[in-house]
Structure 1
Amino acid sequence: MPEGHSIHRLARQFQDVFGGRRLRVSSPQGRFAEGAALLDGHIMVDALAHGKQLFLKFDHDLFLHVHLGLYGAWNFGGDSSFAGASSIGAPRRIGERESGPSGADTDYSGPPEPVGAVRVRLVSDHGWADLRGATTCAAITSDDAAKVLGRLGPDPLRNGPGDRDEFIRRLRKRKTAVALLMMDQSVLAGVGNIYRAEVLFRQAVDPWKPGTAVDTGTAGRLWDDAVATMSDGVRDGRIVTTPPALWTDGAETAPDADAHFVYKREGLPCRACGTVVGMAEIGARKLYWCPGCQV
């Protein structure tokens, strides 16, 4: 599923193209008809992301809450004032590169006919957005939103006062393997399989080490690296964790094959020490790591 940087980019795009605008909200598929009716005709006043959760706030204090899950995606389009990516979400390429830019339509006269199972459609005077395949799509109150947020750990991309210390506390109180804790959304919100593998490698942390065995300094460095790499992802719209010195033929942007240290590189030599990169199942997900560097 998309990692936190994609959801923060979604929030930014929604704020840019729909913020302060009155929206027509519908459910062409029909599964969200009751929720759409609650939001229809209201002004979207804010777009918020925390981890992998997106909240679109409307002027009557209701939210559209979306979690894309494995198969969800937003598609966008509009007139010359409507800028941004044309699609964020599944299907995803390695590194979660989004589709875009949207390619504004100079002859725009309204959204196209819905194609496929569109759960919810948002339409302003200048553009539209369609959601398909999401795990969660609900109209909720501010109290409901607070409850969702209360179940989540700190988000490196929000990085508020005390968040670093709270992450360290949550990580170090558990005997679970740190590789699992890095993807536990109640410990660290927004990190998925790619950032998990890459941050653990970059900080030379044994993925099988229990959280209780991770010292405070190392836990702090995991947080700091998640902040840095995920912030790059928000800026670039993709996950790149390697430096330009490792990119093929002096490329200005990282080729997909050079974008990561260990993710999906099982059986290949480690870029740092030459040890064969390993892959194992943990928590029903694939874990990639270097047995030479991460000891």
Structure 2
Amino acid sequence: MPEGHTLHRLAKLHQKRYAGKPVELSSPQGRFVDGAEWVSGHVLKRADAWGKHLLHRYDNGATVHVHLGLYGKFSEQSVPMADPVGQVRMRMIGEEYGTDLRGPTACEIYDDTQIDALIARLGPDPLRKESDPDKAWNRIHKSAMPIGALLMEQNVIAGIGNVYRAELLFRHRVDPFKPGKQLGSGEWDEMWTDLVELMKVGVRRGKIITIDKEYDHGDAPYGRGGRGRPRTYVYRRAGSPCRVCGNPISIADMKGRNLFWCPVCQTS
């Protein structure tokens, strides 16, 4: 599932390409016809993101809310666009560019009340300047849930996913099974500051980069066809030697997601 930096990067792209002018919307797949008709021909005022949620805000007061989920993806083209291919939920066409959205978990019209409710149930977003890390801390330090699980809860922190979770905990040598209430406030402050910077790099570079150069030995990056993909400390490195201590990286299931960590380095 795309993590928060991907949605913020999309928001910046769509703001640059489409905002300030009328756009044409359609739903070739047929599952967003009413929503597309509601905003088609209106001016896209602003594109922004909250965590893993993309918001296209229009001058008629409507907002198109998109959650990509596991399979959602935008594909960009210059205009005139080619005929739609596959299950295109939403097609948006501006003056110079167009984009097709396929496979999202959600693509729907929200009003201001629904937007407010969405934001209210999300934790602070590290990529939004107004976010207050104390809002996350207030939940973390009262919880007996493992910090590795808390970091994946979108009502604790909005936008963080499995990669940032694993890498952030390693970078700060935190045991992912440590109860949130045992994490120190100083530890949390350092983790939040680091997370903000890591995710800013993700927006700027278009990929997750977490490893310091001194520990990047040029081995194969994670995933298939990994050219250009980021190398990591622990994520998807189960059984490989830790870059710092050499101990094999461990893997376990935590709330239905694979967790990667070094049992020697991460003991705090």
TM-score under structure 1 normalisation?
Answer: 0.85
Alignment of 1:209-248 (within 5 A): 209-248=178-217
Distance 2:8 2:204 in 1: 10
1:134 counterpart = 2:119: no
Q: How many angstroms does 1:249 deviate by?
A: 6.0
2:252 aligns with 280
With over 3 angstroms needed to count, the CA separation of the structure-2 counterparts of 1:257 and 1:25, relative to structure 1, is: closer
Say whether residues 1:262 and 2:262 are aligned partners.
Answer: no
Identical columns (%): 42
Cα deviations by residue, 1:141-181 (Å, 9 ceiling, x for unpaired): 111111111110000111426x1222211211211110010
Query: Could you tell me how far apart the structure 1 residues matched to 2:151 and 2:214 are?
Result: 28
TM alignment of 1:173-184, pairs within 5 A: 173-184=142-153
Specify the alignment match of 1:63 in structure 2. Answer: 63
Give the letter for the 2:20 counterpart. Answer: G
On the 8 A contact 1:170/1:187 being kept in 2, the answer is yes
Q: Tell me how far apart the structure 2 counterparts of residues 70 and 185 of structure 1 sit (CA, whole Å).
A: 15
State the Cα distance separating 1:248 from its structure 2 match: 4.0
**Cα distance between partner residues in 1 of 2:228 and 2:206:** 13
Give structure 1 regions of 4+ aligned residues with deviation exceeding 6 angstroms. Answer: none
The DSSP-based 3-state class of the residue aligned with 1:49 is strand
The answer to whether residue 260 in structure 2 is matched with residue 291 in structure 1 is no
Alignment-derived partner of residue 43 in structure 2: 43
CA contact (8 A) 2:65 2:108 kept: yes
Q: Deviations over 1:222-268 (max 9, x none)?
A: 21111111111111100011122333469xxx966761100000001
TM-score (norm 2): 0.94
* Match of residue 195 from structure 1: 164
Deviation at 1:54, TM superposition (A): 0.5
Aligned to 2:140: 171
| Separation of aligned partners in 2, 1:158 and 1:66 | 18
- CA distance in structure 1 between the aligned counterparts of 2:87 and 2:100, rounded to whole angstroms: 10
1:158 corresponding residue in structure 2: 128
For 2:27 and 2:151, locate their aligned partners in 1 and report how far apart those are by CA, in whole Å.
35
Distance 1:272 1:255, change over 3 A: farther
* Matching residue of 2:222: none
Counterparts of 1:10 and 1:257, CA distance in 2: 18
Kept in 2, the 8 Å contact 1:275–1:290? The answer is: yes
- Structure 2 residue aligned with 1:91: none
**CA RMSD after TM alignment:** 1.6
Q: Deviations over 1:23-69 (max 9, x none)?
A: 11100000001111111110001011010001000001110000000
- 1:12 is matched with which residue? 12
Aligned counterpart, 1:98: none
Alignment-mate amino acid for residue 262 of structure 1: V
Instruction: For residue 16 of structure 1, report the CA deviation from its aligned partner.
Output: 0.4
Cα distance in 2 for partners of 1:118, 1:257 equals 27
Separation in structure 1 between the aligned mates of residue 197 and residue 248 of structure 2, nearest angstrom: 27
Asked whether the equivalents of residues 171 and 219 of structure 1 are also in contact (C-alpha less than 8 Å), the reply is no
Is contact 2:15-2:47 (8 Å) kept? Answer: yes
* Matches of 2:96 and 2:158, distance apart in 1: 33
| Alpha-carbon distance in structure 1 between the residues aligned to 2:46 and 2:173 | 39
Rounded Cα–Cα distance in structure 1 between residues aligned with 2:64 and 2:185:
38
The residue number in structure 2 matching 1:87 is none
Gaps (5+ residues) in structure 2? Answer: 220-225
Q: Say which SS state the counterpart of residue 57 (structure 1) adopts.
A: strand
For 1:139, the aligned partner's letter is I
CA contact (8 A) 1:247 1:255 kept: no
